[in-house]
Structures are given as structure tokens and as C-alpha cells.
Chains A and B, each alone.
Chain A
Amino acid sequence: MADPRQPRTTLALMREMGLTEEVVARRKAFLEFGAEDVERLRGLHDLAAQYADGVIEDFYSHLLSFEETQKFFTDPAILARVKAAQKQYFLELTQGQYDAPYVEDRLRIGVAHERINLPIELYLGAYNFYLRTVMLRLVEGYKNNPEQSTATLGSLLKLVFLDMGLATETYLFRRERTIREQQEAIREISTPVLPLRERLLLLPIIGAIDPPRAQQITTQLLQSIRAHRAKVVVMDITGVPTVDSAIANHLIQTVQAARLMGATVIVSGLSPEVAHALVRIGVDLSAVNTVGTLQDGIEAAEQLLGYIVSKAGDTGTSHNPAGS
């Protein structure tokens, strides 16, 4: 997977999030955002341009009066830059074009917020203040036409909710991606191949196996067989709670691939529940050398390699296992 620090274009993100033209159209339909809303918002543009600076000033004095939000603007240069960006955002609300470039731009805002770790409740809280500030000016500007005022406010609310939806979704999506990346990292460190004796490897598998992990286990095992010139491998699945037919199939294929490389795989630790489920479901594991416990597995492996293990001091047998 790509480096999470690597910058991605918002366009790529849009594709990854599945935000096709069709999907965006469905969202607008659900918000009942239509041509008359676009007209009303466009009609608001001149008024908005007139009030833009005042709204921005009010907005930032609110943000700067709270400790939680203050800390994002410690650098005056940053403050000046976000104010300019905010003004642009504000004017875009009423420019009358709400297609793909608009959506992309809104995602960029979500990405920026996620990157600085702005908590979502602050994003929503700030948006609420913003909206109230705008609302006051809108009502004032349309005071001679209350009907138009209400309708325009309604159109603005639809657009704002579309925006908030996109921004929060970006948050969630990027977090999910972080989790996926972490899962992958865990997967890589979670399947050690342990050389137990000369030519004998132990592969303990703990936790659920999904296809990518199964693939990773196979690759790691085959590479280790070569690196250690292993003859026998004990794959212990005591810590695997569920084995379905696809995972069983993968186990069978791994065993066969190891055999091609001249190594025998012994699978140990099949729990009674898993064994029962596999038999009931009809998976034939007869091609796989299975034993009950890890201890049985290691004993069987040692036997295959010709080791004789005995307690020190026992008479009659060698206590120099490797040399006998």
C-alpha cells in the first residue's frame, strides 16, 4: 500500500471514495437540491460578496476566542492564509456551479482539516457559527422580501449540508484508510517463522486469517523454507478461531507448494470446533498432515528428521539428539 504521507490528488481521492457524477447527483436529489436552488444561490452572490469580509472577521474572532480552535492559528501568516481561503470558500457557495470541481474542492477542505487533526465536533460547531453569521446578514439583506429570504436560506442549507457531508466523509474515509494500513502493518509482523532446530521451522499463526494474510503466510513460509533449507515445518493454528473452505483451500495449496520445495508441512492445533465445522462443511483435508496439538506436531517433526529426544540422565537413549 502507498505511503500515507504521500500526497494524493483530490481527484484520485474522489475516485477512491466512489464519488462519481451519478453518486453526487443522487445526493443532490436526496437533498432536493435543484435548479431553483442554484438560481437562488446565484442571486445571493452580490450580497454575499458585499458581506464576505464582515462574515470572515466575525467567524475568526469566534474561533480565536476559544482555546480549542485558537491553537490552530498561532502563526499570523497561517491565519492570513486561511482567511483568504475562507473568503474564497464563502464566495464559491454562491457562484452557481456545483458539479465535479466543486465537490473536489470540498473534499480538499475535508482533507486539510483531517491533516491538522481538527476534531469533527469543532468543524461542525464552527460551521454552525458560520451559518448563523451568514443567516443574520441574509435576513437583513432580504428584509423586504421575507419569502425570498426563507427560500434562499433553505437553498443555502441544502448546499451547506452537501458540503458538510463531503467534508466529514473525507475524515472517515481517511481514518478507515489509516486503519487498513495499520492492519497491514500488524499482518506483516504477526506471522513469525521460527527456526526451531536445524531444518525444522515453526510457524505459529494467531488470529483470524483473511485472504491477504493467507497469501502473506504462504510467501513467508516458502521463502523461509529456502532460507533455512528446512525439511519439516510445523504450522500451528491453535490461535485461529475459524477456518472456512477458502482458508482450508489455501492451507492445502501452501502444503503442496512446500512439498514441491522438498519440505513436509505438519498442521497442528486444529481445534475440535474447527475440525467439526470443516468436516460438516465437506472440506477434504486428507492431503494435509494434521496432528492434534503443537506438542504432537513438534514430536512428529523431530521423528521425521530422525531426532530422538530424551530427558537428561535417562539411561539407554542418547542425550545428544543432534549428534546421534
Chain B
Amino acid sequence: MDSRSWTSTCSGGTHVVGESRVPIKQGGDIITARQQGRALAAQLGFSSADQTLIATAISEMARNILVYAKVGEIIVRPEHNGKAGITIIAHDAGPGIPDINRAMQNGYSTSGSLGVGLPGTKRIMDEFLIVSEVGKGTTVTMKKWKT
């Protein structure tokens, strides 16, 4: 309900593949982001195992936004760079990550979680780029290609 999507319509009229943006402000938004990601992955023809990986990756990043930055945004969009894929961007203007190398280590957490969110998500995606600046915020851009 909170999500806005810009959609392009094919000649068929009902086929909708486009970018969606989901503001992350509260727990329920994680579910919305996950559903948007899963729906787009399904439309792009990802296998059901991959759909779950994509939904899980979105869930991890959305939860990080909520825990560390309180407010942010998840963007999911199709990728057509020679091959078909999906891009997920998790963006916030929160406190940023002081030590990215440590944050990317398994079991490291400053919030009492399992500490697998960032490294685990990197493992399940094909491309994973994290840009963070203390006091400015964090942007994670990740991609998964169709196999």
C-alpha cells in the first residue's frame, strides 16, 4: 500500500515489469518489499529457489535499514544488460557503517543479531556493492542474474 511503482505496459496490457520503490519505515514494510521483489523475480522467470533467495536478500537488507537507520528505501528493478536479471538497491540516510570490512565478517553484529545478514546476503547474490559513509548513510546495490 505504501509502495509506489512505475510500470511499463506491454502490448498485452496486463504484463507489468518495472521498477518499484518501497519506503521502509516499519516492520510491515519489510514484507511489502519482499513481496515486490519476489513478484518481480517471478515475472522475470527466476526459479522458485532463486525467488526465495532474492526475497531473503531483500528481507535482510530491509531489516538492516530498520534496525540501524530507522528509515530508508528498497528499490527493485529488472536488469537487461545483455542477460536478464534483477537489481535491488537498499538505501538509507542513517548513521553509516564505520568499518565495512568488519561488518562483512560472519558473526559480527552490533545489534545482537546472528551477524550473517551482510556476508550471507553477499553470498546469495551475484553482485554486491556496499557504499557507506559515517553520518551520511548506506547504499547496498546487488544483482542476481538468471541462470
Same complex for A and B? Answer yes
Interfacial residues, chain A to chain B (CB-CB below 8 A): 176, 179-180, 183, 208, 210-212, 241-246, 248-249, 271-274, 276-277, 280-283
B1 within 8 A of A: yes
Q: Which residues of chain A are within 8 angstroms of B56 by Cβ–Cβ distance?
A: 242-244, 277, 281
Chain A residue nearest in CB terms to B119: A282
Q: Cβ of A210 and Cβ of B60 under 8 Å apart?
A: no
Interchain residue pairs with CB less than 8 A apart (23): A179-B1, A180-B26, A180-B28, A210-B31, A211-B27, A241-B38, A242-B34, A242-B56, A244-B59, A244-B60, A245-B113, A245-B114, A245-B116, A246-B60, A272-B49, A276-B52, A276-B53, A277-B52, A281-B121, A282-B116, A282-B123, A283-B116, A283-B120
Query: In the bound complex, what is the Cα–Cα distance between A241 and B35 (angstroms)?
Result: 10
Chain B, 56-70, contact with A by CB distance < 8 Å: what is the 0/1 string? 100110010000000
Specify the main secondary structure of chain B where it touches its partner. helix
B126 within 8 A of A: no
Q: Cβ of B49 and Cβ of A281 under 8 Å apart?
A: no
Q: Cβ of B120 and Cβ of A281 under 8 Å apart?
A: yes
Chain A residue nearest in CB terms to B35: A208
Contact (A277, B1) CB under 8 Å given A212-B27, A245-B116: no
B8 within 8 A of A: no
Contact (A242, B106) CB under 8 Å given A210-B30, A283-B120: no
B9 within 8 A of A: no
A242's partner among B2, B27, B55, B117 (CB-CB below 8 A) is B55
Q: Cβ of B28 and Cβ of A183 under 8 Å apart?
A: yes
Chain B, 24-42, contact with A by CB distance < 8 Å: what is the 0/1 string? 0011101100110010000
Size of the B side of the interface (Cβ < 8 Å), in residues, is 30
Query: In the bound complex, what is the Cα–Cα distance between A95 and B119 (angstroms)?
Result: 59
Q: Which residues of chain A are within 8 angstroms of B130 by Cβ–Cβ distance?
A: none
B123's partner among A176, A242, A248, A280 (CB-CB below 8 A) is A280
Q: Which residues of chain B are within 8 angstroms of A183 by Cβ–Cβ distance?
A: 28
Further contacts, 9 of them, CB under 8 A, given A271-B52, A272-B49, A283-B114: A241-B55, A242-B34, A244-B56, A244-B59, A245-B60, A245-B120, A273-B49, A277-B53, A280-B53
Q: Which one of A179, A241, A283 has the highest number of Cβ atoms from chain B below 10 Å of its Cβ?
A: A241
Q: Which residues of chain A are within 8 angstroms of B38 by Cβ–Cβ distance?
A: 241-242
Q: Cβ of B28 and Cβ of A241 under 8 Å apart?
A: no
Q: Which residues of chain A are within 8 angstroms of B28 by Cβ–Cβ distance?
A: 180, 183, 210
Chain B residue nearest in CB terms to A247: B59
